[in-house]
Structure 1
Amino acid sequence: MKTIGILLVMLVGVACSSEPTITKDMLDGGTLFDPSIYKPENYLVSKAIPNPTPEQARKPVLIACHGYTATTFEWDELRTWAAGRTDLLLSQVLLGGHGRSYDEFKKSTWHDWQAAITDEYARLEKAGYQNISLLGSSTSGALLMELVASGYFANRTAPRTILLVDPIVIPSDKTLSLVKVFGPMLGYVETNQTAAEDKVYYRFRPQETLQELQNLLTVVRKDLEKGIRLPPGCSLKVYKSSKDPSADPVSAVLIYKGISTADGQPVTVELIDSDLHVYTRLNLRSNVTATDRANQTATFTDITVRVLR
Structure 2
Amino acid sequence: MTRIIPKEAGAFFLQGSRDAGILLVHGYTGAPAEMRMLGDYLQAKGGYTVQGVCLAGHCATVEMLEQTTWHDWYKAVEDGVKKLHRHCRHIYIAGQSMGGLLAIKAASGLPLTDSSEGLLINGNREDPAEKRAKTCSVEKLILLATPVFLQDWRVPFVKLLRYFIPRLYTGQHSYNVPEEYMQGYTEMPTKPVPSLLELIELCKKEYLGKIKIPTLIVQGNADRTVKPESATYIYEHLKRVPDKQKELLWLPKARHVVTLDDARETVYEKCLEFIEKQF
TM-score band (shorter)? 0.7 to 0.9
- Residue aligning to 2:145: 166
Q: Select 1:207's aligned residue among 190, 202, 208.
A: 190
Instruction: Flag the 1:241–1:262 CA change in 2: closer, same or farther, 3 A.
Output: closer
CA distance in 2 between partners of 1:264 and 1:182 (Å): 41
Q: Deviations over 1:195-252 (max 9, x none)?
A: 968971111222212222222222222226xx51324xx2101011122100101111
Higher helix share: 1
* CA contact 1:60–1:307 (8 Å) conserved in 2: no
Q: Does 1:132 align with 2:91?
A: yes
Aligned identity (percent) is 19
- Residue aligning to 2:129: none
Corresponding residue SS for 1:95: coil
Q: Select 1:229's aligned residue among 207, 210, 223.
A: 210
CA distance in 2 between partners of 1:72 and 1:267 (Å): 26
Q: So what's the TM-score if we normalise by structure 1?
A: 0.72
- Residue aligning to 1:116: 76
Aligned residues between the structures: 252
Structure 1, 193-202 or 128-137: larger mean CA deviation: 193-202
Q: Does 1:93 align with 2:53?
A: yes
Q: Does 1:220 align with 2:220?
A: no
Q: How does 1:1-309 map to 2 (within 5 A)?
A: 22-23=1-2, 26-27=3-4, 32-35=5-8, 43-44=12-13, 59-82=19-42, 84-85=44-45, 87-125=47-85, 127=86, 129-149=88-108, 151-152=109-110, 156-193=135-172, 200-223=183-206, 228-231=209-212, 234-261=213-240, 267-282=246-261, 292=262, 295-309=263-277
Instruction: Flag the 1:75–1:128 CA change in 2: closer, same or farther, 3 A.
Output: closer
Give me the CA root mean square deviation: 2.8
* CA contact 1:256–1:266 (8 Å) conserved in 2: no
Residue 174 of structure 1: how far off its partner (Å)? 2.8
CA distance in 2 between partners of 1:251 and 1:92 (Å): 24
Residue 87 of structure 1: how far off its partner (Å)? 2.2
* CA contact 1:130–1:157 (8 Å) conserved in 2: no
Higher strand share: 2
Gapped regions of structure 2 (runs ≥ 5): 113-133
Instruction: Flag the 1:250–1:102 CA change in 2: closer, same or farther, 3 A.
Output: same
Gapped regions of structure 1 (runs ≥ 5): 1-21, 50-55, 283-291
* CA contact 2:95–2:143 (8 Å) conserved in 1: yes
* CA contact 1:34–1:71 (8 Å) conserved in 2: no
CA distance in 2 between partners of 1:100 and 1:134 (Å): 24
CA distance in 2 between partners of 1:235 and 1:82 (Å): 18
Higher CA-based Rg: 1
Instruction: Flag the 1:165–1:108 CA change in 2: closer, same or farther, 3 A.
Output: same
Instruction: Flag the 1:262–1:247 CA change in 2: closer, same or farther, 3 A.
Output: closer
